[in-house]
A and B are shown apart, each in its own frame.
Chain A
Amino acid sequence: AQTVTQSQPEMSVQEAETVTLSCTYDTSENNYYLFWYKQPPSRQMILVIRQEAYKQQNATENRFSVNFQKAAKSFSLKISDSQLGDTAMYFCAFRSNKLIFGTGTLLAVQP
């Protein structure tokens, strides 16, 4: 069975600093896709970044980047220059055919 684990229920970071959210997954498949979604207090699910498993290069989207280690089945999200608007629940997700989500990490950015 495919599973996604986020071991940090809550994290806090000072504005303008960097924070890393961890995610591990388990699968026997070789081709798959990984995503980070953000869910702010409005509860809208917003795509932050995606990574194709066949690509060795880590994905980057502005202040957001990932550290993808396929052998270790690890997919962490790094947020640089944290902003107050980054405060949200962050979900890691794995997809082969359907999306499987982790339990989320609640990130609070402190002023």
Chain B
Amino acid sequence: NAGVMQNPRHLVRRRGQEARLRCSPMKGHSHVYWYRQLPEEGLKFMVYLQKENIIDESGMPKERFSAEFPKEGPSILRIQQVVRGDSAAYFCASSLQGAGQETQYFGPGTRLLVL
């Protein structure tokens, strides 16, 4: 059973470009979470999605950031007009259920570098 997959593993963008990060949850998991880890910091929650629905986006910046989890295909975290402060590791996690007791399993992360 493959784990959570993320691609690309590394992404370099120039200021003003768009970054598109993909996450395929574990097989059978329909709940996806995105976290951001700035250098030397812990992970910060960004958004929680279930198939075709955003459940909680309280941690996501209001501008330039969006996320989706379509019925078919991976979850996408999209950052428009990237700035240097967006440089970070972005982790995706998935769980079987969305309830609080469900363990979240993490992908390997995408390291975004904005030049």
Contact = CB atoms under 8 A, between A and B. Distances in A.
B42 A98 contact: no
B100 interface: yes
A103 B41 contact: yes
Given A43-B89, A98-B33, A104-B42, A31 B100 contact: yes
A62 interface: no
B interface bracket (residues with beta carbon within 8 Å of A): 20 to 34
Interface residues of A, number: 24
Contact of B109 (A43, A95, A96): A43
Contacts of B7: none
B108 interface: yes
Interface in A65-111: 91, 95-104
B103 interface: yes
Contacts, number: 55
Contacts of B58: 98
A101 B42 contact: yes
The interface residues of chain B, by DSSP majority, are classed as strand
Nearest to A102: B42
B35 interface: yes
Contacts of B41: 103-104
B69 interface: no
Interface of B: 33, 35, 41-45, 48, 56, 58-59, 89, 91, 93, 100-101, 103-106, 108-109, 111
Q: Which 5 A-B pairs have the closest CB atoms?
A: A45-B106, A101-B42, A98-B45, A101-B43, A103-B42
